[in-house]
Amino acid sequence: MSYTMRDVAKKAGVSVATVSRIMNGKGEASPETIAKVKKVIEQLNYKPNLLAKRLSERKSNLIALLVPTLNNPFFPELVREIEKEANKNGYQIYLCNSDDQREKVEYYLDSMVNHYVSGAIINSLHVDENDLSILEERGIRTITIDRANFDHSYSAITVNHKAGAQSAVNHLIQDNHCRDIVFISGPRDEKSAIDRLLGYKMALEQVEFPIQTKVVYGDFETESGYQLIQKLLMDGEKFDGIFSSNDAMAIGAIRACYEFGIQIPEQVKIVGYDNINMTSYLHPRLSTVDQCKEEIGALAIKELINLFNNRSEKPNHYELKPKLIIRESSR
């Protein structure tokens, strides 16, 4: 009978990630746990999937890219940047759109193995360290981008959304003297949305004069930004500034303001987040926070190629700082 790493983990009472780390000599476990895992490996006569490793050594030119949605304009633009960088280096992208569903994530994780991809770029809330460990066991090098809700021992790129949000809110308060600000947050359980909310609160904590604030929660899509601001206006709420957790919701908010005859930026200043392409063609052009699509694309491919070429290379963690782009919507 052929056993897998999952079988070892189950019998030893630990996670697949722990087994993977111990087998790769990375430690990060107690001596007792290491001894127990090694004993189970010996009992089951477990051997890593050598066929998968041999296949990975063929250096397939396919890199899987798992994204949460294509409805948010940011992600198609991110895909384009990653694909452009991959093509420059002789690799093709296998695009996997999960629609933020665990069932689809599992399908694509299996599909990555079946397609013999060399590497996987993961941007999903529904992937855990066990998933990454299984891919790595099969010779698929991995790097996560931004949305992972957990710390892990593989390569990762994160964006400092707290700093990005803080700069946007500081701009509304300090540069534009906004005193009644609405923050359109993303989903309550989404890591980047949580970080942007924390950045918003950090900016408010530094202010020594009273600021009226309202936090409403959307889903990162244009319609939710439109409906949230429309409801506030229908309820008679007054505000002079809006910070949106992404550009798509900011565009919906702008539409709602115009329908109520509110002029931007004369009556309400608005700042979005993402710096998607269309923001520079709106009227007025939307101020936003650029979260480094080009840099993410270049860095993700560079890191994977480095991992392909140096199998013993230790994974790296990178943190990027977003940049505030000031345009007419907040001048």
Report yes or no on 235 lying in a domain.
yes
CATH number for the domain including 132?
A: 3.40.50.2300
Residue 56: predicted pLDDT: 47
The verdict on 212 and 248 lying in the same domain is yes
For the chain, helix, strand, coil in percent to 5 are 45, 15, 35
Bigger pLDDT: 195 or 4? 195
The residues that bridge with 215 in the sheet, in sequence order, are 183
pLDDT(297) > 90: yes
Task: Quote the CA–CA distance of 302 and 314 in Å, as a whole number.
Answer: 14
Q: Are residues 244 and 286 located together in one domain of the fold? A: yes
30-39, 205-214, 261-270, 315-324: range with lowest mean pLDDT: 30-39
Domain count, the chain: 3
Looking at the structure, tell me whether residues 92 and 110 fall in a common domain.
yes
My answer on whether 147 and 165 are in the same domain is no
Residue 16 within a domain: yes
| Gyration radius (Cα) of the chain, Å | 23
Note whether residue 113 is domain-resident: yes
In a domain, 50, yes or no: no
One-letter amino acid for residue 152 of the chain: H
Residue 303's pLDDT band, with cuts at 50, 70 and 90, is: very high
Residues 6+ apart with CB under 8 A from 1: none
Vertex 81: Cα angle to 255 and 59 (nearest 5): 150
Give the domain extent around 85: 56-160+293-322
Burial 254-284 (b: 16+ CB within 10 A, else e): bebbeeeebebbeebbbbbbbbbeebeebeb
Q: Would you say residue 51 lies in a domain?
A: no
Shared domain for 65 and 32, answered yes or no, is no
Residue 271 lies in a domain: yes
156 and 297 co-located in one domain: yes
| 111 Cβ contact list (under 8 Å, min separation 6) | 64, 96
Instruction: Give the pLDDT of residue 51.
Output: 47
Distance, CA of 86 to CA of 51 (rounded, Å): 26
Q: Examine the domain organization and report whether 191 and 281 are in the same domain.
A: yes
Report how far residue 91's alpha carbon sits from residue 304's, in angstroms, rounded to the nearest whole number.
11
Residue 252's contacts (CB-CB under 8 Å, 6 or more residues apart) are 221, 222, 223, 224, 225, 226, 227, 228, 229
Answer with the residue of higher pLDDT: 313 or 171: 171
Say what the pLDDT of residue 146 is: 83
Instruction: Please check the confidence at residue 271 and state whether its pLDDT lies above 90.
Output: yes
Q: Which range is least confidently modeled, 152-156, 242-246, 272-276, 295-299? A: 152-156
Q: What is the pLDDT of residue 216?
A: 98
Least reliable range by pLDDT among 105-119, 145-159, 188-202, 225-239: 145-159
Q: Does the pLDDT of residue 114 top 90, yes or no? A: no
304 and 229 both lie in a single domain: no
Asked whether residue 73 falls in the same domain as residue 14, the answer is no
Q: Dihedral angle at the C-alpha atoms of 32, 38, 40, 41, nearest 10 degrees?
A: 160
Per-residue model confidence as pLDDT tens digits over 218-253: 999 999 999 999 999 999 999 999 999 999 999 999
Residues 167 and 270 in one domain: yes
Please give the pLDDT value at position 149: 52
- The answer, yes or no, to whether residue 117 has pLDDT greater than 70, is yes
Q: Are 121 and 85 in contact (CB under 8 A)?
A: no
In a domain, 49, yes or no: no
For residues 202 and 246, state if they share a domain: yes
Residue 150 has a pLDDT of 56
Query: Per-residue pLDDT averaged across 17-21, rounded?
Result: 82
80 and 33 in one domain?
no
Handedness of CA 31, 33, 35, 38 (dihedral sign): negative
Distance CA 186, CA 217 (A): 6
pLDDT in tens, 48-94: 665 455 454 545 789 999 999 999 999 999 999 999 999 999 999 99
Q: What is the pLDDT of residue 27?
A: 59
**Residue whose C-alpha is closest to residue 291's, from 195, 183, 159:** 159
Work out the mean pLDDT of the chain and round it to a whole number: 91
